[in-house]
């Protein structure tokens, strides 16, 4: 299986990158092929321009080379994995820009057999996330609105809670969970 793993966080020494690294270790443990996209450090430009505009009338639109490259990476993958922190109860702007530019009309009908896993790191604990249905809202947004828009049939959100904890044991458990997700 080939996995396109997309990570976004401006600091490479962040827990987000540590989680991504452990997840990739789990994938490689099972001999899966990994294509890694680091939105913050690989030069991806999240700015949406007129050139990126979807052409609802022309399904054969020629996309900008940067967008076409990312669409081709998606086409070559069996599984898409996104690792990101929860900011303002949503995805970071780099990931939002990626989704706006790349998950567009050119991918319709080409995503149905792919699996998508969203690994979201949240500073809040599960009780906090559930209190006002923030967890449910996020899952609906990613699984139904974003993945559904791209016609993905299998999408799952995995939340890693309480990432601001000072407990080394808790952080180690989050990293172990990421490794196990990669093995799955």
User: Would you state the pLDDT for residue 92?
Assistant: 97
Residue 56: pLDDT band (50, 70, 90) is: low
Q: Residue 168: give the domain boundaries.
A: 2-183
User: Would you state the pLDDT for residue 60?
Assistant: 75
CA–CA separation, 130 and 135 (whole Å): 6
What's the structural domain count of the chain?
Answer: 1
Which CATH number goes with the domain that contains 101?
3.40.50.360
CA–CA separation, 40 and 45 (whole Å): 9
Sequential DSSP letters for 80-143: EEEEEE-BTTB--HHHHHHHHHHSSGGGTTSSTT-EEEEEEE-SS-HHHHHHTTHHHHHHIIII
Q: Is the pLDDT of residue 1 over 90?
A: yes
Residue 5: pLDDT band (50, 70, 90) is: very high
> 85, 138 in Cβ contact below 8 A?
no
Mean pLDDT of 125-152: 91
User: Would you state the pLDDT for residue 106?
Assistant: 65
Which residues fall within 8 angstroms of residue 151, CB to CB, at 6 or more apart? Answer: 108, 109, 111, 112
> What are 55-59's contacts with CB under 8 Å, separation 24+?
55/105, 56/105, 59/105, 59/106, 59/108
Residue 59: pLDDT band (50, 70, 90) is: low
Mean pLDDT of 45-73: 82
Q: What is the pTM of this model?
A: 0.94
Mean pLDDT of the chain: 92
Q: What are 80-133's pLDDT values in tens digits?
A: 999 999 998 899 999 999 998 898 766 767 787 899 999 999 999 999 888 889
- Of 41, 31, 42, 40, nearest to 2 (Cα)? 31
b (16+ CB within 10 A) / e for 24-43? bebbeeeebebeebbbbeee
Q: What are 61-75's pLDDT values in tens digits?
A: 788 888 889 999 999
Mean pLDDT of 22-41: 97
CA–CA separation, 132 and 140 (whole Å): 14
CA distances from 82 to 59, 63, 112, 150, 166 (A): 26, 23, 17, 15, 25
């Amino acid at each position: 299986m080939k996995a396109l793993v997309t990570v976004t966080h401006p600091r490479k020494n962040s827990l987000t990158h540590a989680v991504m690294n452990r997840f990739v270790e789990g994938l490689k443990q099972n001999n899966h092929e990994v294509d890694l996209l680091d939105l913050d450090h690989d030069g991806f430009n999240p700015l949406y321009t007129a050139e990126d505009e979807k052409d609802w009338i022309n399904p054969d639109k020629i996309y900008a080379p940067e967008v076409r490259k990312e669409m081709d990476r998606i086409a070559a993958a069996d599984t898409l994995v996104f690792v990101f922190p929860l900011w303002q109860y949503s995805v970071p702007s780099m990931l939002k820009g990626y989704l706006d530019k790349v998950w567009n009309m050119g991918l319709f009908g080409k995503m149905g057999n792919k699996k998508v896993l969203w690994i979201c790191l949240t500073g809040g604990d599960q009780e906090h996330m559930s209190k006002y249905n923030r967890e449910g809202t996020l899952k609906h947004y990613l699984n139904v609105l974003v993945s559904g828009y791209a016609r993905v049939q299998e999408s799952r959100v995995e939340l890693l809670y309480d990432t601001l904890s000072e407990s080394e044991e808790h952080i180690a458990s989050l990293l172990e969970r990421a490794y196990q997700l990669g093995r799955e």
